[in-house]
Structure 1
Amino acid sequence: MTLQSSTQGLDRYRDDRFGMFVHWGLYSMIGRGEWEQVIARIPAADYAPLAKLFNPAAFEARELVALAEAAGQRYLTITSRHHDGFSMYDTKLSDFKITRSPFRRDPIAELADACRESGSVKLGFYVSLVDWHHPGYLDTTRWEDYLGFLFGQVEELCTQYGDIAQIWFDGDWPNSPVSGEHPGWFTTDQPWRYPELYDLIHRLQPDAVILNNRKDGLQPGEDVQGFENDLPGENTSGLNPGPALAVPRETCLTMNHSWGYVPHDTAYKEPDRIISTLLRCVTADSNLLLNVGPTQSGDVPAPAQERLRAIGRWLERHGDAVYGAGPGPKPGSILTRDGRALDPADLIPQP
């Protein structure tokens, strides 16, 4: 029988309601998003030298965690490794990692320390199932080598950084046309051994919740149903065709149109729109994981910071409508932890 997150972990996750998603890596240097390697058809051998130039000297873990605190976000889930295969922590399983760049530091270790110091922000990890750098991902004769690497990295993340809130998997999309749109870049017909992978996590981190961005329901061992740029039960983005299940849910949302840093993408959502989405998430019994894409220097763009701080100021007054709250007695209403019914229309700030 596949393990699940503890009751304590699930309750904590539901109560938190609002988190920060962080997409940050080598692709932040290019400034065209985290998929630029496949879009521009950059071979792994030509992409890898970017690591010799990556030096995000402005990165300060305490500042990022303090920003999440100011925004009222209670967990922070960061890309430990995205599809390009570059590890943003000091893995022992690859030399293609940030501690071999001019930066040399382990930002994940620094974030773990900063989260512990904060006492209010918990740390989680995005883990890509895709890896365009590891030869075993696309060479299926070496698939077991790749799975050994993947399992090993997950074990590192679960044992080296203290208690973690979430593991967020991405890259296995059984109903997506993406592999046909980018032939030769995705492996789609190999077994992931999810029950073993999930049991590994739940044994090492019993309070952590697992989300797999598969968009086809939940597998045993998965704790949270994810929705990308959409609320549960809606499919305006075309990415979430399945129905909402009676399990913990999470909507991940970009603040502009991009996950990774794109300097010319200045179409940031206004605070009132994000707050409205947050409240709608609560009415749908869903968390909101709001994304930021730090720059190549490691700092969060000013427009994103401004919006996060505005949301935090609103939450100082109306946090009872979010933390520990859920769907109310009427459709579209909210029920607070202490049993009060609220109408979100009364809470949204007017622009």
Structure 2
Amino acid sequence: MKNLRTALFLCIFAFSFPVFSQTKSLLGETPAQKSHRMQWWTDARFGMFIHWGLYSLPARHEWVRNYERITNDQYQKYFDNFNPNEFNPKEWAKKAKAAGMKYAVLTTKHHEGFCLFDSKYTDYKSTKTQAKRDLVKEFVEAFRAEGIKIGFYYSLIDWHHPDFTIDDTHPLRVDGNEASKEVAYARLNKGKDMARYRAYLKNQITELLTNYGKIDILWLDFSYPGKFGKGHQDWGSVDLVKTIRKLQPNIILDDRADLKDYSDGYDFVTPEQVKPAELLKYKGKYWETCQTFSGSWGYFRDENTWKSQHQLLDLLTTSVANGGNLILNVGPTARGEFDYRANKALDSLGYWMHANNQAIYDCTFPPDEYNLPAELNVRVTYNPSKKKLYLHLFDYPTDGKITLPNYNGKISYAQFLNDDSEILFKSDGNGLILNLPKSKPPYEIPVVELSLK
């Protein structure tokens, strides 16, 4: 990964992921209770991430402060010029709903430390800019009105706060060997107090979980333990998560507070920017892959590695086919709008989801007996309550025929999902043969619905 944030996180994630059978618990929730609490999320399968902050003005990556080692004084011009005069969260919410997204997670504060909400603990917030608005409040009201579940992202990191100690991910980090860095950081961090920062962090999260009604998801981001990093002790994660669970008992929490050894220190794991083929290994767990339309989370004017509709649908269908969720990110412009490339991607997803969403919502991986050979290049999703299988056809057959091994005698009816038009089938010694029309339906990845006997 070129993204420093991604590279750092994946190293940590790879190290910590294998721990799933924890014995320690913060609040004593049973697996059955967790399953009930998580049900809406596992049914939804598809969400929107929104990374928005002062970094939308330089428009060259949300980690621009880190990459270019920008000081607070140098970064101040973006605060002074932040004026999102086209911000209309009602339009954002309509776009998310039309694309088929069931929940949305907004960056209330990213690593730069700027708050999109009216916190009483800082003046580094949207209400003190030319916007003069609590942008989080408006987001919540708009998305809730569309029936979309509400999620908050909150950065554990804060490069602006005076008590946040400088470390190896900070814009003012130092280079050199371990001994020289130890001396330099001791000098740079003189007078800083992480205990005061922990109190700030806890106070702001308490505001977010108190002032905006029911919050469905909280994304804390991220931990990087080590000599020149930060982990659960720096954040006070145990106390923090207990506070979160007390304030919002039904909230769903990500895994980045460095509490992997607690069974209820998190609810789901978060593979970031991974390829679809890598998602198989998370099968059977609660997980959500976070992905960008392009190579950046924040608005990046000159970045051009945008994913095609095929790639986006691959991420979505492969996620569900392995029992996970996909959250796709939009980085609004400094004026508060989704740029044309994001709108184009969302519109293409909306077209496909309108016709095929039944193969996504309430679905998961199928029983093993319905797995298909890799050479067919078909993703299979399954709705256990309706007893429906959905075949996502990544390679549409030129002769219109697909043979499904081991499906003989198990299917009562077949149809295209987009229009409920019948697909005839027959059995032979090789399996069930679907007779598809030679003309592919007008969808990048057509879906066949199979009713089980």
TM-score, normalised with respect to structure 2: 0.69
Of 102, 121, 129, the residue aligned with 1:101 is: 129
Of 124, 128, 132, the residue aligned with 2:159 is: 132
Matched, 1:229 2:273: yes
In structure 1, the partner of 2:307 is: 269
- SS of residue in 2 equivalent to 1:68: helix
- SS of residue in 2 equivalent to 1:228: coil
Structure 1 residues 233 and 196 mapped into 2: Cα distance closer, same or farther (>3 Å)? farther
Q: Given that residues 43 and 362 in structure 2 are in contact (C-alpha distance below 8 angstroms), is that contact kept between their aligned partners in structure 1?
A: yes
Identity across matched positions, percent:
32
Q: How far, CA to CA, are the matches of 1:2 and 1:216 in structure 2?
A: 10
Q: Which region of structure 1 is more displaced relative to structure 2, 285-294 or 269-278?
A: 269-278
Matched, 1:192 2:267: no
Structure 1 residues 216 and 199 mapped into 2: Cα distance closer, same or farther (>3 Å)? closer
Of 229, 250, 257, the residue aligned with 2:288 is: 250
Q: Given that residues 56 and 298 in structure 1 are in contact (C-alpha distance below 8 angstroms), is that contact kept between their aligned partners in structure 2?
A: yes
Deviation at 1:173, TM superposition (A): 2.5
In structure 2, the partner of 1:183 is: none
In structure 1, the partner of 2:330 is: 292
Give the 5 Å matches for 1:1-351: 1-3=25-27, 7-119=35-147, 121-138=148-165, 139=189, 142-174=193-225, 187=230, 190-213=233-256, 217=260, 219=262, 220-230=264-274, 234=278, 244=282, 246-329=284-367, 330-331=370-371, 332-336=379-383, 337-345=385-393, 349=444
The CA deviation string for residues 102-127 of structure 1, in whole angstroms up to 9 with x for no partner, is 111111101111122112x1111111
In structure 2, the partner of 1:239 is: none
The CA deviation string for residues 186-218 of structure 1, in whole angstroms up to 9 with x for no partner, is 546843222221121122112210003369956
- SS of residue in 1 equivalent to 2:151: strand
- The answer for unaligned runs of 5 or more in structure 1 is 181-185, 237-242
Q: Given that residues 82 and 334 in structure 2 are in contact (C-alpha distance below 8 angstroms), is that contact kept between their aligned partners in structure 1?
A: yes
Deviation at 1:277, TM superposition (A): 1.1
Q: Given that residues 233 and 244 in structure 1 are in contact (C-alpha distance below 8 angstroms), is that contact kept between their aligned partners in structure 2?
A: no
Q: How far, CA to CA, are the matches of 2:353 and 2:42 in structure 1?
A: 17
The size of the alignment, in residue pairs, is: 336
RMSD between aligned residues: 2.5
Q: Relative CO higher for 1 or 2, CA cutoff 8 Å, sep ≥ 6?
A: 1
In structure 1, the partner of 2:435 is: none
- SS of residue in 2 equivalent to 1:298: coil
Structure 1 residues 231 and 112 mapped into 2: Cα distance closer, same or farther (>3 Å)? same
Deviation at 1:24, TM superposition (A): 0.5
- The answer for unaligned runs of 5 or more in structure 2 is 1-24, 166-188, 372-378, 395-416, 418-442, 447-453
Q: Given that residues 47 and 101 in structure 2 are in contact (C-alpha distance below 8 angstroms), is that contact kept between their aligned partners in structure 1?
A: yes
Structure 1 residues 63 and 316 mapped into 2: Cα distance closer, same or farther (>3 Å)? same
Bigger radius of gyration among the two: 2
The CA deviation string for residues 82-106 of structure 1, in whole angstroms up to 9 with x for no partner, is 1110011111111001110011111
TM-score, normalised with respect to structure 1: 0.88
Q: How far, CA to CA, are the matches of 2:157 and 2:390 in structure 1?
A: 42
Q: Given that residues 6 and 206 in structure 1 are in contact (C-alpha distance below 8 angstroms), is that contact kept between their aligned partners in structure 2?
A: no
Q: How far, CA to CA, are the matches of 1:233 and 1:246 in structure 2?
A: 16
Structure 1 residues 128 and 233 mapped into 2: Cα distance closer, same or farther (>3 Å)? farther
The CA deviation string for residues 319-338 of structure 1, in whole angstroms up to 9 with x for no partner, is 11111100012345211241
Deviation at 1:317, TM superposition (A): 1.4
Q: Given that residues 282 and 327 in structure 1 are in contact (C-alpha distance below 8 angstroms), is that contact kept between their aligned partners in structure 2?
A: yes
Q: How far, CA to CA, are the matches of 1:259 and 1:53 in structure 2?
A: 21
Q: Which region of structure 1 is more displaced relative to structure 2, 270-279 or 205-214?
A: 205-214
Q: Given that residues 279 and 319 in structure 2 are in contact (C-alpha distance below 8 angstroms), is that contact kept between their aligned partners in structure 1?
A: no
Q: Given that residues 232 and 238 in structure 2 are in contact (C-alpha distance below 8 angstroms), is that contact kept between their aligned partners in structure 1?
A: no
Deviation at 1:231, TM superposition (A): 5.8
Deviation at 1:232, TM superposition (A): 8.2
